[in-house]
Amino acid sequence: MVIDMGYWTKVSKRIIVLIFTILGIYLAFKLAIFYMPFLVAFIISLLIEPLIKFVNKRTRLTRKTSAIIVLVFVSILLIGLLVWGIAGLINEASNLLQGLNSYIEGAYNQIQNVISNIDFKKLKIPENVSEVIQNSIWDFIGTISNFIKNFLTSLMEFLTQIPTIAIYVGISLVAIYFMCTDRFYMLDQLEHHLPKEWVKRIGKHMRELISSLGNYLKAEITLILISFTVSLIGLYIFKLIGLNIKYPLLSALGIGFVDALPILGSGTAMIPWAIISGINGDIKLAICIIVLWIIMSVIRQLAEPRIVSKHIGIHPIFTLIAMYTGFKTIGVLGMFVGPIVLIILKNIFSSLIDKGVGKAIFDR
């Protein structure tokens, strides 16, 4: 049998390129975490670029002056929100940590009452199976309570590291300044130091990524901010009128976190909250939460078609697989990272996917 070495060489090259691309994306995310202040600066510079162009065009000032004006305004806004957010989170997180044991005990008692009212004999459930169900429920509650404790403890440790946060913020602001004022100089330097072929390929892929991933992220961030803001305003109103809302900022962050996850939505957090409130006898709070969820859903449905101009072209099942893979690989953060990696891979290997992955690799 004659082995076609030329064919297998091509196949090997295609597989190696695929593997190295995946490894490169993994390394890029590791570096992004390490250089987080610069990544944040880059994202903010992209977000405020339209505003800089608007000021530059309307006032006819130089780009540098326009960038400084916009940056000062954005810096004051961001620092103000940061100080308010840190102070509020420290207060609510410390209060929640102090009262967490009583909340867990209340949850145990409620579940115990529900289980005691169930007649397992009538349901013909064996005693050993009912014990397994009860133990599983206790283990689930214990896992959730440990997760909340660990999360709040980590959050408190981070928020109380004021010097570290100040350094991150300072580096990010300086980086934003240079990225906004010397944008064209940096691009020229990049083209000067890289081979022309690299510049063409990087430029092509970057344009595609910015048009798909960039627009997608901007749209998602905008929608998440809308959900967070609406929920925060609504929860503070509920607190002001005397409803049992003890941690409005943490609750709004939790709702925004769930709403940020693809496929899931704010209802994943708010509907169970309303049901639990109703079971506890707080019908007024349950109704208010449902009303707030409906308002948020309507606002999101009205805003989404205007903000999201294009779909990412990926079936929800693949997004779900990407979320699960990310979660199993790097934890909760992976639920955000997984779909982003999927979008990046789709854009890089768009031609390969269009032909069919197996065909593109193994066809002669």
| Residues 144-165: tens digit of each pLDDT | 777 777 777 777 777 777 778 7
Residue at 91 is within a domain: yes
Q: Identity (one letter) of the amino acid at 129?
A: V
Here the tokens at position 210 are: 């910015």
Query: What's the confidence (pLDDT) of residue 1?
Result: 45
Please answer whether residues 254 and 238 qualify as being in contact, where contact means their C-beta atoms are separated by less than 8 angstroms.
no
| Total of domains in the chain | 1
Enclosing domain of residue 78:
33-203
Considering the domain boundaries, does residue 3 fall inside one?
A: no
What is the rounded CA–CA span in Å between residue 192 and residue 247? 53
pTM: 0.67
Query: Is residue 98 one of the residues assigned to a domain?
Result: yes
Give the C-alpha separation, 297 to 41, whole Å: 31
Average pLDDT over residues 351-360: 60
Count how many Cα atoms sit within 13 Å of the Cα of residue 180 in the half-sphere of its side chain: 32
Flag whether pLDDT at 33 surpasses 70: yes
Does the residue 132 lie in any domain?
yes
Over residues 41-48, the mean pLDDT reads 82
Q: Would you say residue 199 lies in a domain?
A: yes
Reply yes or no on whether the pLDDT at 198 is more than 60: yes
Q: Which value, in Å, is the radius of gyration of the alpha carbons in the chain?
A: 26
Q: Is residue 63 part of a domain?
A: yes
Which band of pLDDT confidence, cut at 50, 70 and 90, is reported for residue 202? low
Residue 308 lies in a domain: no
Within-domain flag for 73:
yes
Task: Give me the pLDDT at residue 118, please.
Answer: 63
The answer to whether residue 299 scores a pLDDT higher than 80 is yes
Q: What does the pLDDT look like over 253-269, one tens digit per residue?
A: 888 888 777 667 788 88
